[in-house]
Amino acid sequence: MNQTKFTMYSLLGITIVAGIISFLLFIYAEPISKTKTLLDGTEEVEVVFNWLNFWLYAVVIYTIASYRFWGPVKTGEQAALTLFERPVANVLAGAPFAPIGFIKILPVTARTDQREFPAEPQFIDRTELKDGYVIPEHKKPPLRIQFRDSIIDDYARELFGEEGEGFYVTGADGQRIPFVAEAPIDGLSGRVTAEVQHVVRVRVNDPCRFFSNVPGGALEEAFRQIEDEMVSVITRFYTRISVAQALMNLRWMSIHLFTAVKRRVGARGDSEPWGIDVQSAFVKLIHTDHGINISISKAAQAPFDRTKTVIDADAKRQQLELEGQGTGSAARDLTKGTLVGRAEGLQDISFKLEISGEEVQAAEVARSMGENGNTFIAGLDGFGQLTGIAAATLGKNKKDKPEPTPEEGGDS
């Protein structure tokens, strides 16, 4: 029942009751009066108290005060109005009409409330449990799931069942989503223990049903039962697949969670609906061990490292080849330049000294002998010795060389 209808019925009830009691008072209740003697000696009857008037004034004051301006439902809240502890109407923020003495107001949040399980990140205690250690009251241990090796598609169909809420699930858009068995083969495709954090987002949309069917009418109790339902679903599915497959099927799993929570808070069997609208339920995070993450990162980085090594080695080889080619080319150019320079120098000496090319060549041979050996040549005497050596060398060459025949161009 909504607030407007409840107010109308309440005012009608007050009017009927007030009318009946007013009629009875009019018939059976005599006003309280007293007799007063006037100055002229006559007596006059004065009405001191009238039950009927008192009743009518009381009804008006009661009706006005039943609008709870002095104790309204706060902004961001809604409430259930209970008659003798039985919820009878829902009201929104404001001053509801709630007859005093009969109607009690039970407020509850009107906002969407989100909870992360097992707790918010800052309240999760990952301390290793040892003898004597007690988890602080405001913290909770993580939800650790023992995942198994990746399963193949055929086994998944057999394990989950293709019909209903198993291998296939249906999303809010009507799309039929299958379980994806194909997953990367890495450290997450084997048996790994990982933490699972899951989230639910709900809103109370019927306070009367909520206070009637949730034990104690407490939102915390509703979240406790929702958490148990979600953990049951997570345990049932995640212990049969690998972390890699769980990460590949986050939406698939979230639909399973959403469906299970909707079924839990809705009408099923002998259970009445809780008056709660489930807006979403999903897996927020699968947290693996830090060491596993590092190993997987290194394995993923290895191919890039190998490629970089090959590229660096190839670049170094090309660098050495180019440097070798450059060095050889430079030496070749140097030798060529030296020979050309020496040839031009010898030609210049031959011209300036007016000597033959053979004499110049002999002098160059003598100079080379002096540079390569231990002979030291200095002054005019040294030059004379040098000339003698050159002449002897040339003479020897002429003596050893046969005279050309007339046929070869010699003297006849």
pLDDT digit string (tens) for 16-57? Answer: 999 999 999 999 988 887 777 777 777 777 778 889 999 999
Query: Which pair of structure tokens corresponds to residue 330?
Result: 């430079």
Q: For position 412, what pLDDT does the model report?
A: 42
DSSP 194-229: EEEEEEEEEEE--HHHHHHHSGGG-HHHHHHHHHHH
CATH topology (fold) of 113-128+135-288: Tetrahydropterin Synthase; Chain A (3.30.479)
pTM beyond 0.75: the answer is: no
Q: For position 300, what pLDDT does the model report?
A: 47
* Chain segment 230-250, per-residue pLDDT in tens: 999 999 999 999 999 999 999
More confident residue, 329 or 20: 20
Listed by start position, the domains of the chain span: 3-109, 113-128+135-288, 319-399
**Cα–Cα distance between 274 and 278 in angstroms, integer?**
11
Cα 69 to chain centroid distance, Å, stands at: 47
Mean pLDDT value across the chain: 80
**Cα–Cα distance between 183 and 244 in angstroms, integer?**
6
Dihedral sign for Cα atoms in the order 259, 260, 263, 269: positive
Q: For position 36, what pLDDT does the model report?
A: 74
Place of tokens 């057999």: 158
**Cα–Cα distance between 160 and 94 in angstroms, integer?**
50
For residue 358, is pLDDT > 90? no
Q: For position 35, what pLDDT does the model report?
A: 75
Quick check: 102 and 17 in contact, CB under 8 A? no
